[in-house]
Structure 1
Amino acid sequence: MTDKSSTASVRETRMVAAFVEMADTLVDDYDVADVLHRLVTHAVELLDAAAAGLMLADQRGSLQVLASSTEGVRLLELFQLQANEGPCVDAYRAGEPILVDDLTRSVQRWPSFAPQAVSLGFAAVHAVPLRLRHEVIGALNLFGYHAGPLTQADLHLAQALADTATIGILQERAIHRGEVLTEQLQTALNSRVIIEQAKGVLFHAGGLDMGQTFEVMRTYARDHSTRLSDIATQLATATLDPLTVLNHRHHPAPQQ
């Protein structure tokens, strides 16, 4: 009983921290790339998912892959778009969660996507829309290595995370009414490319895995009150020494 209570307490603490961090994106110096990467990171950590991916729609309603927890999932999400079938596509179109307990039973529904996902070791997939009231702007995909349902509690948590990110994205659009949707998405796409390049720089400099490099970079940006995309640009253009960022792990900035 104690172990279960302790585990639940730890999860609740992590949930609170995640929503506080997500809410922090609603204030000044908004960075859409950071918001989306935080969303997929929290989704994996809090929902015990194997991986996560996220898509946003452009002004024509065409989805774009803007964040993923792994490179393999990013490629799978691109495959989903190319095939024009899959959970994110369906969740976006329907504006409702798409829950698939067993991917091997979804071959008829998704003849291209399902076999591809299974070949990568995934057994279940669940997608929730990024929506605010009747406006749907994208979808979040959660992948699992084991077949099985998503609990109602986890479904509500996944939707709450997606809703929080959606509010931030739509608020940023409302503030910058002169900036068209295309420009916002292009900025996010450009930031994603730069972030991947910066992760590669840290990977080669410090021997960390790609997931660790993102966390190190994000922590450095947060501790220096700098946008994640700005730190990534500095790393990618060699104006910031990667060892400075890596060493920050051992000498973090003091709490104010």
Structure 2
Amino acid sequence: MFTENLAETFVELADTLVAGFDSVEFMHLLADRCVATLEVDAAGILLVDHHGELRVLGSSSDRARLLELFELQHRQGPCMECYLTSEPVTVASFTTSPQRWPEFSAVAKDAGFGALHAVPMRLREQTVGALNLFTVEEGALSEPMLRVAQAMADVATIGLLQAQIISHRDLLAGQLQHALQSRVLIEQAKGVLAERLQIDMSTAFETLRRYARSHNYYLSTVAEDVIAGTIDMAELTAVAEARSSARRPRP
């Protein structure tokens, strides 16, 4: 099963290289595939913008996203160190004393996580962010799992940079900035959808993703339509209800 998931993961990530792609959706795909393939409970991605500041661009859960936002706000923590040093960082336990990042560790523990593993997203000498893996249980991941995680991060980095972007840093900055602006639109659309359909934020986001995939639209395009009120809300409601039904336990 692991081998099949791994093969499917690299096929999906490699497919993104053949044409223009939605960077935000690509990062969420990477986070989701990490959870499905590796022995982790959540995953998140930090990417650097054109100002050299790290931003949260993808996550598999709101808990992971909020934890990474906390780290960026305090400008210190394992994920940021991973990016700055371009080296993997492992926190095998958030309860072991002493802690290098006591505030971050306390918040991570309160969020229900026991350990974290961060691997750099880099190509040659260029590091663009960090892939962060969270586990509920304490303890380090096995070396084979960490190697797979690094390989996934490497493939994703190639997908972002591509050959022409490596020699044109302005193009890279523009692409990442566009992705970050799209992330703002998506967060706004999640709030609009959650209020209109009376659903939680996670369901709102999955509704946007499913609608975008089923219509072959960019996620950011769907978000713009939701904010502008030009989208078919009846169809979005049906998508949300279908997801809710799929999550209900069978009698």
Q: TM-score, normalised by structure 2?
A: 0.82
Residue in structure 1 matched with residue 32 of structure 2 by the alignment? 41
Q: Residues 218-229 of structure 1: matches in 2 within 5 Å?
A: 218-229=209-220
Residue in structure 2 matched with residue 3 of structure 1 by the alignment? none
Structure 2 contact 39–141 (Cα < 8 Å) conserved: no
Q: Residues 235-250 of structure 1: matches in 2 within 5 Å?
A: 235-247=226-238
Q: Residues 79-158 of structure 1: matches in 2 within 5 Å?
A: 79-105=70-96, 107-158=98-149
More moved, 205-214 vs 34-43: 205-214
Q: Secondary structure at the match of 2:121?
A: strand
Residues 83, 190 of structure 1: CA spacing in aligned structure 2 closer, same or farther, 3 A cutoff?
same
Residues 195, 12 of structure 1: CA spacing in aligned structure 2 closer, same or farther, 3 A cutoff?
farther
Shift of 1:106: 5.9
1:163 aligns with 2:150: no
Structure 1 contact 90–98 (Cα < 8 Å) conserved: yes
Structure 2 contact 47–55 (Cα < 8 Å) conserved: yes
Shift of 1:138: 0.5
State the AA in 2 paired with 1:85.
Q
1:137-157: CA deviation from partner (whole Å, max 9, x where unpaired):
100111111101211222122
Residues 17, 201 of structure 1: CA spacing in aligned structure 2 closer, same or farther, 3 A cutoff?
farther
Structure 2 contact 43–60 (Cα < 8 Å) conserved: yes
Q: TM-score, normalised by structure 1?
A: 0.81
Q: Secondary structure at the match of 1:140?
A: strand
Q: Secondary structure at the match of 1:112?
A: helix
Residue in structure 2 matched with residue 4 of structure 1 by the alignment? none
State the AA in 2 paired with 1:113.
F
State the AA in 2 paired with 1:49.
V
- 1-side partners of 2:180 and 2:120: how far apart? 19
Find the partner of 2:179 among 188, 200, 206: 188
1:74-128: CA deviation from partner (whole Å, max 9, x where unpaired):
2221221232221211211221211221112265311321122122221101111
Structure 1 contact 80–113 (Cα < 8 Å) conserved: yes
Structure 2, unmatched stretches of 5+, are 243-251
Structure 1 contact 87–127 (Cα < 8 Å) conserved: yes
Structure 1, unmatched stretches of 5+, are 1-8, 251-256
Residues 246, 26 of structure 1: CA spacing in aligned structure 2 closer, same or farther, 3 A cutoff?
farther
Shift of 1:129: 0.6
More moved, 216-225 vs 22-31: 216-225
Shift of 1:204: 4.7
Structure 2 contact 165–171 (Cα < 8 Å) conserved: no
Q: Secondary structure at the match of 1:129?
A: strand
More moved, 83-92 vs 56-65: 56-65
Find the partner of 2:13 among 9, 18, 22: 22
State the AA in 1 paired with 2:178.
T
More moved, 173-182 vs 23-32: 173-182
Shift of 1:48: 4.0
